[in-house]
Structure 1
Amino acid sequence: MSRACALSDLDDGKPFAVEVDEVDVVLVRQGDAVHALRDECSHAELALSEGELTPKGIECWLHGSCFDLRTGAPSSPPATEPVEVFPIEIRDGEVHVDVTAATN
Structure 2
Amino acid sequence: MPCWGESPAGDPSRKRAEQAFTKAAAETRKGQDRIGRLAESAQAELAADNARRAKVATVLEAGERARTRLRVRLRGRLPDALTGTDLLPVWFTTALGPMTPPRRAEE
Larger RCO, structures 1/2 (Cα 8 Å, 6+ apart): 1
**Structure number with bigger Rg:** 2
Q: When you count strand as a share of all residues, which structure comes out higher?
A: 1
Q: When you count helix as a share of all residues, which structure comes out higher?
A: 2
TM-score, with normalisation over the residues of structure 1? 0.18
TM-score, with normalisation over the residues of structure 2? 0.18
